[in-house]
Amino acid sequence: MLNALTRWLCIVLMASTACTMAAPPAPTPAIASAAGQARIYGELPYQNPAYTGDLDGMIKRRQIRVLVTYSKTNYWVENGRQRGASYEALKAYEDELNKRLKTGNVKVFVVFVPTRRDQIIPALLAGRGDVAAASLTITPERLKQVDFSDPTITNVNEIVITGPASLKIGKLEDLSGQQLYVRKSSSYWTHLQQLNQRFIKEKRPPMKLVPAAEELEDEDLLEMLNSGLLKFAIVDDFKARLWAKVLPKLQLHPDLAVNRDGQIALMLRKHSPKLKDDLNTFIKTHARGTAFGNTIYNRYFGEQNFVRNALQTTDLSRFEATKAIFQRYGKQYQMDYLLMMAQGYQESRLDQQARSHVGAIGVMQLMPATGKEMKVGDVRQLEPNIHAGVKYIRFMIDQYYAKEAMTAVNRGLFAFASYNAGAGRIAQLRKEAQKRGLDPNKWFNNVEVVAAEKIGPETVTYVSNIFKYYIAYTLLIKSEQEREAARKRMGAPQR
């Protein structure tokens, strides 16, 4: 769903005035930006407080922030749903961790933070992420700054790939004097520099290494190579084999490798022994070579049809089909449209054809009576359905929480909780929270705790899921916009 999120992700992070979501209290999932702070549609700062501690502190904060790169194999969103090898693996880790800790209804969440590749190590060191999962090769240079888990994929070769505009090549020495576009943050760059040192010693002209935009993933460079814009590319062999199935003009040269037997692993900060041990325990039963690991590997790196589907669905997603409507009514009712889309995904996966067993209708899963009360038209139709849903959340905020001493973010969270469980029930839970010395004006780790105890996981999960989808949507839009801008600068065909 690349075009789907306006080619997916623009954290210009701003925030509309009245009800826009901004930063939650520290223990909730948070967004990272290059400066550690961003803005979401308006005025309220959305912060990702720096944290550089170990797993015990992450459990206390109830979040483990995973830095990922946006790509059609590693992490992306399709029809509003997060997908990818890194996503599935770390969600499995989240499930196993919560099961082991017996967290019940108040869980520890893995939060995925799309990040440019050259910002991964700085973000880890600055405490804006806890783990990086982006097919990262262990290198001596990286080990000087960060640590790695046990390998998740081994025997990785970084091979030469040519396309229709390439010169004929039969040995590595044929790269001498040639120009290659490579991300400077990649292990490819490091190994090509080492090859250049060899060329210089052998009195050969070195390769001309040109830094590629860090927003570009391997698949972007391979698309450019396939279209004749580039002459050479260096890519991990397992990725190259996958993309060669859908980019027919690529020619792989497995015998020409700038690095052999590489190991890919999760990256983390040094001095995090508890997190490292816990991840390594998980990897023993989930890395490639295990049943789980092989399933994930084959799903994302072995199946041609999966990649074809990822390419084809980008222009056809429900997200793209409904985005303009959410934008229109978000603006009208001073609601963040991505936040409302996140609720729509939680309700129906943005499917207007969805019908519940109790009669709720469409994207926003409105009961016919509620739709009629909103007086915006027939909620069996897409636009009136979304209009009514946005208007109803605006009504709930104004009716129940406008005069409360809450932040804008908490007004939104309580409105969603009330939408799910009923405003009267949430009012009772707030009173109970106050009796216990908790803050009745804060959802996460306060009223949420009482809700988990009194009414079970449904409302807690409902609110948390919306917030996680919202984070993913917001981050993804920026990431994809930056990526498309980089492709345009290099003359790549626009998607």
The per-residue pLDDT for range 333-352, each reduced to its tens digit, is 999 898 999 899 889 988 89
Q: How far apart are CA 351 and CA 358, in angstroms?
A: 17
Quote the distance between the C-alpha of residue 397 and its chain's center: 29
**Second-level CATH architecture of 37-151+266-314:** 3-Layer(aba) Sandwich (3.40)
Neighbours of 69 (CB within 10 A): 27
Residue 6 predicted with pLDDT over 50? no
Q: What percent of the chain has pLDDT over 90?
A: 56
Determine the angle formed by the axes of helices 408-421 and 382-396, rounding to 10 degrees. Answer: 110
Task: Kindly write down the DSSP assignment for every residue of 246-273, as one continuous string.
Answer: T-TT-EEEEEEEEEEEEEEEEEE-SS-H
Count CA within 13 A, CB hemisphere, residue 306.
16
Mean pLDDT across the stretch 124-148?
Answer: 96
pLDDT classification of 288: cutoffs 50, 70, 90:
confident
Containing 111, the helix (H) or strand (E) segment is strand 109-114
- For domain 153-264, is the CATH number 3.40.47.10? no
Looking at per-residue pLDDT, the higher value among 208 and 245 belongs to 208
For the domain made up of 318-471, the CATH class stated in words is mainly alpha
Q: At what angle do helices 408-421 and 337-348 cross, to 10 degrees?
A: 20
Domain spans, the chain: 37-151+266-314, 153-264, 318-471
pLDDT tens profile 34-73: 222 222 222 223 356 899 999 999 999 999 999 998 777 8
Same-fold call for 37-151+266-314 versus 318-471: no
Name the band, by pLDDT with cuts 50, 70 and 90, for residue 216: confident
Compute CA distances 269 → 171, 250, 275, whole Å: 38, 37, 9
Query: In this predicted model, which residue has the larger pLDDT, 22 or 411?
Result: 411
Q: Are 322 and 386 in contact (CB under 8 A)?
A: yes
Global pTM reads 0.62
Beta bridge partners of 252: 161
Q: Token pair of 447, please?
A: 């009223």
Which region among 296-300, 301-305, 330-334, 380-384 has the lowest average model confidence (pLDDT)?
301-305
Cα–Cα distance, 90 to 73 (Å, whole number) = 14
